[in-house]
Structure 1
Amino acid sequence: MNQPGYKKNLTRCLLLLACCLSSTNAVAAMARVVYPLTASEDADSRYEYDWAVLRVALQKTEARYGPFELHQSTHPMSSQRVAQELFTPGGRINIFARATSPELEQQFLPVRLPIDRGLLGYRMFLVRDSDLPRFAAVRTLDDLRKLSVGQGKDWIDVPILRAAGFNVVEGTNYPGLFGMLSAGRFDFFSRGIDEAQREYRERRGVHPHLVVEPTLLLQYPLPLYFFLRRDAEGKLLARRISEGVEVMIRDGSLNTLFQQYKGASIKAGELQKRRVLHVRNPHLTPETPLSRSELWFNPLTGK
């Protein structure tokens, strides 16, 4: 047997095997993250910022956790369907973003870092233009309670507002809520600062009599979290996303993204000119990181 040739061929085989194993491991290490498409219509930009934060958080952690693929589900899902898909092992998504509740935090794995720095808890109203004088006359929560508020079915805002004494009318789907408001089924649609303004721009062609109410601001703590499946993949992704968002907080990139997506709406809302009405959120869990001031933004002070 030709020993030198044998050893040379053996070395080549081992190197080839190592390359194959390395390639296999690289493919296995690729994190595939799938978030839900929430509406079949074009006019639905509610979650663009959330997925931008997710992408950057994954990018910030590539050196430690490896490459990733970020995809949107191919079919639109209702909020109920989103939860069902994430709850089901092997479901079509493995992450969603939503205002938190004790039930969500028990059923799924939350990343307890508020994606939008708590901005969702500052609420402006979409109303019918003919009702503007009624809202201009509101001075207290008792005044506002005389008007009915619309929300999506099973949204976390529903129990918060009902606990505060409001008459809440629920709609079964998001696009239908604008039609319900136009038809007088309720008096105002309570939305986040940037949501109200974007939705007004997106919907005014179809609902020309809806406007953003200019005098009031309703506020309650409402953290928006990423949620993942409670399995090994979910725990790994939750750890990765948490570490990535923490990096974004420290290096300022979260605030940069926040200002890019939310800054214009905050400025346009002229919040300092509004009467601010506060209500409690009795549904926050003890783990809510309210003591970490760097996680929260106050749009009234700009800090």
Structure 2
Amino acid sequence: MAKSRCLLMLLWLWSAQTSAEDVVRIQPSQSVDNTSYQYYVDLLQLVLNSTAADYGPSRIVVLESTLSQARGFNLLKKGQLDVYWAGTSFARERDYLAITIPLEGGLLGYRVPVIARNRVSEFAKITTVAQLQKMVACQGSQWPDSDILEHNGFLVERVISFSLMYSMLAQQRCDYFPRGINEAYAEVNTQGHEELMVYDKLILRYPLPMYFFVNKQNKPLAKRLTQGLSQLLANGKLADFLMHHPTTSAIFPLSRYQASQIFILDNPTLPKDFNNREHHDWIEFSYQ
């Protein structure tokens, strides 16, 4: 009888602990090509783990249906999604709570062209912005990048589905696919992209940090994420995570890009106070 009561007590404690566990609902990966997705999932889990002592345990739950950015933000507004990560903009920060510590140190705004290998000699001849502006970039239809590129005079083929962009590039229905330095290598190294390459002799540079966003009413979660990211940034674990994660480690050392041509672009979508933020770009491009 005593053993039975003890077992029941253990089961009750386990059940209570499980039921007390917070669930954090996130977006699914947009495509098998979207390998950088795992970086943000792992980083979110690291943030939740590092704050568990103050806020309790949390469990990440991934939604099943693939989401466009517009739908993802809409679900966040409705409270059907808890965390959504995306490039920031004035409109997004107006409508949602942004955790204003760049998840990738600001490197998302260094865009390298992914191109077909058989066109490398063509891109090697590019020495001016005007030459690249004559080519067509595949880009997400709802991404701030498309607005930024068009604002700067670039030709953009807006594509609603991430999974279509690499196939369109392979079919040469666009000339290049600008990806963040932190994204490009892992994506191109996935199976089926043998005919593609990262052409990192050219870099488009514009400020566009990737932030965690939460619903405006979910201030406790925003506080937790801010605390966790701030702690990881201060103790160096965020930089270490970026430098050693399987999807981002290939970009280091950053000194390898010193000979690359960097074309500086304007980003008109940013909040007005962006340049005054303490951590708007926490990793130097010459970081080694």
TM-score (norm: length of structure 1): 0.83
Corresponding residue of 1:33: 24
Show structure 1 runs of 5+ residues with no match: 1-19
2:209 pairs, out of 190, 210, 223, with 223
**Which deviations, in whole Å up to 9, do the C-alpha atoms of 1:156-191 show, x marking residues without a partner?**
101111111101111120111112112222211000
What is the aligned length?
274
2:147 pairs, out of 148, 159, 184, with 159
Provide the rounded CA distance (Å) in 2 between the counterparts of 1:168 and 1:269: 30
Corresponding residue of 2:6: none
Residue aligned with 2:252, SS: helix
Show structure 2 runs of 5+ residues with no match: 1-11
Q: Higher Cα Rg: structure 1 or 2?
A: 1
Is residue 200 from structure 1 mapped to residue 185 from structure 2 by the alignment? no
**Which deviations, in whole Å up to 9, do the C-alpha atoms of 1:95-127 show, x marking residues without a partner?**
111001112112211111111110100111111
With over 3 angstroms needed to count, the CA separation of the structure-2 counterparts of 1:153 and 1:259, relative to structure 1, is: same
Residue aligned with 1:270, SS: helix
Once the two structures are overlaid, the 10-residue window that deviates more, 236-245 or 130-139, is 130-139
Corresponding residue of 1:302: 287
Write the letter of the residue equivalent to 2:211: Y
Is residue 62 from structure 1 mapped to residue 48 from structure 2 by the alignment? no
Write the letter of the residue equivalent to 2:35: S
Shift of residue 129 of structure 1?
A: 2.1
Corresponding residue of 1:73: 63
Quote the RMSD (CA, aligned, Å).
Answer: 2.4
- Seq. identity, %: 28
Residue aligned with 1:175, SS: helix
Shift of residue 220 of structure 1?
A: 0.7
Provide the rounded CA distance (Å) in 2 between the counterparts of 1:295 and 1:185: 34
Provide the rounded CA distance (Å) in 1 between the counterparts of 2:194 and 2:243: 29
**Which deviations, in whole Å up to 9, do the C-alpha atoms of 1:127-179 show, x marking residues without a partner?**
12232122111112112112111101111101111111101111120111112
Residue aligned with 1:244, SS: helix
Q: Any conservation in 1 of the 2:185–2:250 contact (CA below 8 Å)?
A: no
Provide the rounded CA distance (Å) in 1 between the counterparts of 2:32 and 2:64: 14
Write the letter of the residue equivalent to 2:95: Q
Corresponding residue of 1:190: 178
Q: Any conservation in 1 of the 2:111–2:205 contact (CA below 8 Å)?
A: yes
Residue aligned with 1:191, SS: strand
Shift of residue 273 of structure 1?
A: 2.5
Residue aligned with 1:254, SS: helix
Q: Any conservation in 2 of the 1:38–1:79 contact (CA below 8 Å)?
A: no
Q: Any conservation in 2 of the 1:112–1:289 contact (CA below 8 Å)?
A: no
**Which deviations, in whole Å up to 9, do the C-alpha atoms of 1:24-63 show, x marking residues without a partner?**
7x67753211111133x54432221212221122222222
Corresponding residue of 2:195: 209
Write the letter of the residue equivalent to 1:32: V
Write the letter of the residue equivalent to 1:258: L
